[in-house]
Amino acid sequence: MEQETPKMIYRTLGNTGLKVSVLSFGTWLTAHDEKEEQNIIDCVKRAYELGVNFFDTAEAYGYGVAEKILGKAIKELNVDREDLVISTKTRECGSGVNDKLLSRKHIIEGVKNSLERLQLDYVDILLCHRPDSQTTLVETCRAMDWVVEEGYAFYWATSEWSPSEIAEAYEICEREGLNKPIADQCQYNALYRENLEKNLRHSFEKYKYGTTVWSPLAMGLLTGKYNTGDFPKDARLYSEDGDHKFLRFYFGADGSRRDQTIENLKKFCKIAEEQGCSAAQLALAWTLVNKDVSTCIFGASKVSQLEDNMGALEVASKWTEELENKIEEALGNEPAPETDYNTFAPKRPRRKVALDLDM
């Protein structure tokens, strides 16, 4: 008997009424090459069939190639535009001196070019793809407000902005009566936790900020494929000198956490085996049971890979405090607690506050 597909979960994105699927499809790593076009289109179609309504891309992904492929996929879906939530990001697309960063010129020209590639009249969310220290935040906020007011996007958001940058943007928008940002697209997974669980706590508590998290599988580390510590030439984390820039997130800037991380990954995969699921499913479930995660973006180049990832919904539906504690013990990387200076006692960890044990 064919197993019933778990029902998709939808959450509001930040302090808005916008509903997004907790698992969403992104084109960061899988849509840079037009040779992959049909595979991506097939994945988008299957993701939609399984309840995914949120699809993410960026002008920087293949310098527009990913947007073009997603645009073709949306056309082939042939569904009402209202049934989809589409986001793209602006910051760099080209070699010209004004083809990058977050000036008014690039934001407005960039979103128009993105819409042309996507074959859409608007996107639901336009994100600032990383901060920009060369442009005043006032200029960026005013330009993003213009994009929203003109109907090129319904909302604007940030990506990997610090809590202080988010707070400053909020203050500017409040003072000038501008549309405020609604969410941050930040990295979050079982190996990289500090930013979402600790740094962004103020943004969640004060602004009800949303998140569209990326790399929930830690560039593939959490799938168990690299538990030997070796990365073949076709692996995303391969580099000739063995020091791929993304490995620094997980192994430390100097590689000092490499051996311990590999051992922890083996423990994590053992827990997945005991749960009767894949390591990828467990990793995705670990991420999405945190209610501070509005949606969890994953990529796939094969429908079979996408379908396996969707099994995370079933794993999440059976999440228990016992399983949570077991993984916590195996990884041993919970961020150090902050101090509540009213009581001089440690604050309850944010993940514990936001854990959803009633999926």
Tokens of 7: 């029902």
Which member of 10, 48, 61, 188 is catalytic? 61
Tokens of 71: 């645009």
**DSSP-assigned states of every residue in 237-298:** T--TTS--TTHHHHH-TTSTTHHHHHHHHHHHHHHHHHHTS-HHHHHHHHHHTBTT-SEEEE
DSSP β-bridge partners for residue 325 = none
Residue 91 Cα to chain centre, angstroms: 17
DSSP state of 121: S
61 labelled catalytic: yes
> Own/partner pairs for 62-65, CB < 8 Å, 24+ apart?
62/31, 62/32, 62/33, 63/93, 63/94, 64/93, 64/113, 64/114, 64/117, 65/31, 65/32, 65/33, 65/34
Catalytic residues: 61
